[in-house]
Structure 1
Amino acid sequence: MKRALILSGGGARAAYQVGVLQALAEILPDDEKYPFPIICGTSAGAINALALAAHPGNFKDSVQALANMWRNLTVGDVYLHAWWDIFKGLGFLGLSLFNQGIGRKKPLSLLDNSPLWDLLGSRIPFQNISQSIASGKLLAVSVSAMGYTSGHTVSFFQGHESISGWTRYRRAGVPTQLRLEHLLASSAIPTIFPAVRIDREYFGDGALRQLAPISPALHLGAESLFVVGVSGNRSSAKPNKRLPAKHSPSMGQIVGHLLNSAFVDSLEGDLEHMELINKMVKLIPEETKKTSGLHLRAVENMVISPSSPLDVIAGRNVRYLPESLRFFLRAIGATAKGGGATAASYLLFSTEFITELMELGRQDALVEAEAIKRFFS
């Protein structure tokens, strides 16, 4: 059974995924071979995906190394946050509205993520990926990014020579040797972090316009999917109650919904679509599939997502951000009181927020321990 691990995006929210992986390392037996021959990551999930794929050890060791990296992460390890850095980013973004030439030499962004380039460049040994594929430990690993010129989602993958690229409507799979540029492009939240040039095109966050987040894993040969999301929307079968508005939406609320539409909604929609197809496939007799030439199969899947709303947790932790960021977030209403903590959650690379998300992910997965054991049996 070729299992794929799918890690979605969400900035600092990706710390939740690490907690889930920690629980997996506890639940699976010590003699378990590497459980995921296929790993797919998008946005900040791409960081976790490549950190796992590039680690030379077994699954438990790779998860431990990833957890240690996140546990010691600070805001300063991800982006510059001095007052000058914030106002410089705001100034260039504002001037670019009136002068298109400002952003031609250097991609524009609110935040300078050069510290993240340095951190990941020193922590992720990309050369190990080819060794893991050659040894059979991995079949393929992919990260997705969105091309600003074409508007297409490109899944850059490194895998076994038997796997070919693909082209579909507004999406493609391109075989390559994965490197730091692919990782930073996949996690470049628009206007927040700068776009990254790869060959002839600039790329940004892979969650943007990603019509089918599950598709890369299936193209790479996955037969079952283990998905770790960053939304609490699937934790309850009941729809969220619509509350009356106390005031008009702040810029923070608007930005939060835009980010959620990119990082959360497409994955949940794709999962619902796959579950519907699975039900339909099971209703079709095997003989009918053979005679009609329908190459359809049900894809087993398991999804772990937050049991508590991450924006509520973010609202409790916004105070741990640097003063310069808090000032900016207050200005756009991205606070708990302003109803816009969702936007803040994508930038909250504070030790307190990360630790709380990791523990939430671990507990959510441990609750599903028996189901996880059945999935891997």
Structure 2
Amino acid sequence: MGKRALVLSGGGGRGAYEVGAIQALYRAGWIPEILVGTSIGAVNAAALAAGWTAERLRDFWLRLRTHHVHRLHGRIWQSLFTTAPLRATLIRHLDFNRLNDPDNPRTLLVLATDLRRGCPVVFSNRHVPKAWKVFIGPEHLLASCSIPYVYPATRVEGSLFWDGAVMANTPLNAAIEAGADEIVAVLLAPMPGEAGGWPLPRHPLQALALVLDLALLSTFENDYRQLEAVNQAVRQGRPLKPGHREIRCHVIAPATPLPLSRILRYDLPGTQALIAQGEADAQRVLKALG
């Protein structure tokens, strides 16, 4: 059996959808060796890489509230919220020593955006091509979660970082570089071109939500189509480049947009609904795979 990679997108409180998908995958015996995440997806990925079960991750989310993640910043000209509560939550709940243990069988890759260089950076607890091998701590997860202006940029080893979603919200390439043979990507917005899709916006907030989701999906869609082209060429016996191999990629995504309000809100009713939706969508994908 080849290496399995789980790629988790960013989307704030909508990350509860990923928890439901993870529950369904783990229950079906689909356990990844490689965990890749951006923003809240990086937090979920780090928890799994630190040895959490799907049930423990679910229980964590059911107890998670907005005040555990952020509060209004006293200097709103710098950012709307401070991530100090999230830092405290990560330190309280995650075992970073276990996460970075050389004997840990799980590889973690966390995406952030380097402000000075204007490019994505991948932090990893392993030596992986095109990744920065580090002792992953709370600051690396905060860097991946630092939505521009919503949260302040996070300083890591002298450099400032923003949310990884600025460059790639669902980083397939990081999983490929880590040696994945099969990938499951969990999106927090409908897959472009699929049935259902987005309703026409009826007011400015809905229009903003549509623009945001489309922007976050654009890089993933390009990467996904490119991977499909590589796979097709390999299956036809004419790989585009030496060393190309087939990498199966399955996508779990909602049929309709998740509420924009859930990005900044963490409460029990909303979390329960998103977990149930993610689990149901994942079960449909698993059923189709047989």
Q: TM-score, normalised on structure 1?
A: 0.70
**Equivalent residue in structure 2 for 1:215, among 173, 177, 184:** 173
Identity within the alignment, %: 30
Residue 41 in structure 1 maps to residue 48 in structure 2 = no
1:62-77 to 2 correspondences below 5 Å:
62-77=53-68
Residue 179 in structure 1 maps to residue 137 in structure 2 = yes
Name the CA distance, whole Å, in 1 between partners of 2:244 and 2:141. 32
- 1:122 counterpart letter in structure 2: R
Deviation string for 1:274-297 (max 9, x for gaps)? 112222332234xxx5xx972211
| Structure showing greater Rg | 1
Residue 4 in structure 1 maps to residue 31 in structure 2 = no
Closer/same/farther in 2, CA of residues 189 and 2 from structure 1, 3 Å limit: same
**Equivalent residue in structure 1 for 2:188, among 225, 230, 248:** 230
Q: Which residue of 1 aligns with 2:283?
A: 366
Residue 134 in structure 1 maps to residue 99 in structure 2 = no
Closer/same/farther in 2, CA of residues 27 and 174 from structure 1, 3 Å limit: same
Residue 282 in structure 1 maps to residue 199 in structure 2 = no
- 1:209 counterpart letter in structure 2: M
Name the CA distance, whole Å, in 1 between partners of 2:193 and 2:18. 15
Q: Give 3-state SS (helix, strand or coil) of 1:355's partner.
A: helix
Q: Which residue of 2 aligns with 1:195?
A: 153
Name the CA distance, whole Å, in 2 between partners of 1:239 and 1:228. 16
**Shift in Å, 1:268:** 2.7
**Aligned residue pairs, count:** 289
Deviation string for 1:9-53 (max 9, x for gaps)? 11111110000111123222xxx8xx2111111111000000111
Q: Which residue of 2 aligns with 1:124?
A: 94
8 A Cα contact 1:8 1:228, kept in partner: yes
Name the CA distance, whole Å, in 1 between partners of 2:162 and 2:211. 15
- 1:345 counterpart letter in structure 2: R
8 A Cα contact 1:185 1:204, kept in partner: yes
- 1:115 counterpart letter in structure 2: P
Q: Give 3-state SS (helix, strand or coil) of 1:368's partner.
A: helix
Q: Which residue of 2 aligns with 1:205?
A: 163
8 A Cα contact 1:235 1:306, kept in partner: no
Q: Which residue of 1 aligns with 2:117?
A: 150
Closer/same/farther in 2, CA of residues 190 and 255 from structure 1, 3 Å limit: farther
Q: Give 3-state SS (helix, strand or coil) of 2:59's partner.
A: helix
Q: Give 3-state SS (helix, strand or coil) of 2:32's partner.
A: coil
Q: Give 3-state SS (helix, strand or coil) of 1:46's partner.
A: helix
Closer/same/farther in 2, CA of residues 235 and 126 from structure 1, 3 Å limit: farther
Q: Which residue of 1 aligns with 2:223?
A: 270
Structure 1 residues without counterparts, runs of 5 or longer: 56-60, 94-107, 167-172, 315-341
Q: Which residue of 1 aligns with 2:253?
A: 305
Q: TM-score, normalised on structure 2?
A: 0.90
**Equivalent residue in structure 2 for 1:351, among 265, 268, 282:** 268
Closer/same/farther in 2, CA of residues 266 and 279 from structure 1, 3 Å limit: same
Name the CA distance, whole Å, in 1 between partners of 2:198 and 2:99. 42
Q: Give 3-state SS (helix, strand or coil) of 1:356's partner.
A: helix
Closer/same/farther in 2, CA of residues 65 and 274 from structure 1, 3 Å limit: same
Q: Which residue of 1 aligns with 2:243?
A: 295
Name the CA distance, whole Å, in 1 between partners of 2:132 and 2:253. 29
8 A Cα contact 1:54 1:124, kept in partner: yes
Name the CA distance, whole Å, in 2 between partners of 1:354 and 1:212. 21
Q: Give 3-state SS (helix, strand or coil) of 1:233's partner.
A: coil
CA RMSD of aligned residues (A): 2.5
8 A Cα contact 1:235 1:305, kept in partner: no
Structure 2 residues without counterparts, runs of 5 or longer: none
**Shift in Å, 1:253:** 4.5
Q: Give 3-state SS (helix, strand or coil) of 2:165's partner.
A: coil
Name the CA distance, whole Å, in 2 between partners of 1:205 and 1:46. 10
**Shift in Å, 1:357:** 0.5
8 A Cα contact 2:198 2:210, kept in partner: no
Name the CA distance, whole Å, in 2 between partners of 1:354 and 1:203. 28
Closer/same/farther in 2, CA of residues 299 and 238 from structure 1, 3 Å limit: same
- 1:299 counterpart letter in structure 2: I
Closer/same/farther in 2, CA of residues 190 and 261 from structure 1, 3 Å limit: farther
- 2:116 counterpart letter in structure 1: T
Deviation string for 1:235-293 (max 9, x for gaps)? 8347757x5x76xx63x3564345324433322332122112222332234xxx5xx97
